Amino acid sequence: MYELVQVSEDCYYIESPAKIGLVKTGDDEVCLIDSGNDKDAGKKVKKILDANSWKLTAIYNTHSHADHIGGNRYLAVQTGCRIYAPGIECSFTRHPLLEPSFLYGGYPPSELRHKFLMAKESDAILLDEHALPDGWVMMPLPGHSFDMVGFRTQDDIVYLADCLASAETLKKYQISFIVDVEAYLSTLEAVKAMKARLFIPAHAEPAEDVSELAELNIAKVHEIADKIAGICKASAVFDDILKGIFDDYGLEMTFEQHALVGSTVRSYLAWLEGSGRVRSEISDNRLIWTAV
């Protein structure tokens, strides 16, 4: 873990729970794509930088989830690097309390205020194309998060952030986190058609072709949507829908999973309602979801 892997003349990744991109932008200057999940990850990255006599100039965050921004503050203090984040992700990076608050739908209880859901705040700058190194292209990849992006570098290496889950991850966890199902499906279709020298997803192995994996993720989205719509045939309140999904997949409920998977299931319900597959109504002071 935290091994540095070179994939082209100037492009690398650091093997970690969420792969960290590292790209040379000069003789001794590098930038990172994401920073790992906490201060300890930042320390391990700093050791790699020091071992290679590299100066870190910038961190380009793909999105604001804690496992991608957790090393920001430590590395910024240690190196003086700038931190960039796109769109809404910039606000969440600057104010990490927003993440568990968004998941919970109110001020989050202590069970959700930990480093896996709430990174240390960092002084992020709004990312736009003018902040990118020469030869880079920023690619919108919304769906998993509001304004997630990926990057195509000067060496035609594409860092895909969290838009693809590996087959093993899908089998183990079943339900990937999604904030916008329609946007996520559009992202997956776009990624399926992409060509590059090499793709580096954060949670899957690097590959020259990710079309098959993208299709697997697309199929999983439709599978989950069908299960939710099926549960709603008998009309159901939200907690009964969530329980039905957990029971069907053999998952074990925790407070954190109730928030994470629950937020995702709400996103599915919004998409299904917008697609005309389910409808909502208030009955006896309860919100009821019914398949159409």
Beta bridge partners of 203: 165
User: What are the tens digits of pLDDT across the range 249-291?
Assistant: 999 999 999 999 999 999 999 999 999 999 999 999 999 999 9
Domain count, the chain: 2
Q: Which two tokens stand for residue 238?
A: 């939200």
Q: What is the pTM of this model?
A: 0.97
Do 140 and 159 belong together in one domain? yes
Residue 177: its pLDDT value, please? Answer: 98
Which residue positions in the chain have pLDDT lower than 70?
A: none
Do 104 and 213 belong together in one domain? yes
Do 229 and 249 belong together in one domain? yes
| C-alpha span between 66 and 114 (Å, rounded) | 10
Do 74 and 173 belong together in one domain? yes
Where is the domain boundary, 162, 193, 220? 220
Residue 152: its pLDDT value, please? Answer: 98
| C-alpha span between 13 and 138 (Å, rounded) | 18
Q: Which two tokens stand for residue 126?
A: 């709004």
Do 182 and 278 belong together in one domain? no
Where is the domain boundary, 201, 220, 239? 220
Do 230 and 268 belong together in one domain? yes
Do 227 and 211 belong together in one domain? no
Instruction: State which residues form the domain around 70.
Output: 4-220
Q: Which residues contact 172 (CB under 8 A, 6 or more apart)?
A: none
Residue-by-residue DSSP string for 81-147: -EEEE-HHHHHHHH-TTHHHHHHHTSSPPGGG-STTT-PPP---EE--GGGSPTT-EEEE--SSSTT
Do 211 and 226 belong together in one domain? no
Do 169 and 260 belong together in one domain? no
CATH number at residue 278: 1.10.10.10
Do 21 and 33 belong together in one domain? yes
CATH number at residue 83: 3.60.15.10
Where is the domain boundary, 185, 220, 255? 220
Phi-psi region of 34 (alpha: psi -120 to 50; beta: other; left: phi over 0): left
Do 151 and 242 belong together in one domain? no
Do 197 and 235 belong together in one domain? no
| C-alpha span between 4 and 54 (Å, rounded) | 13
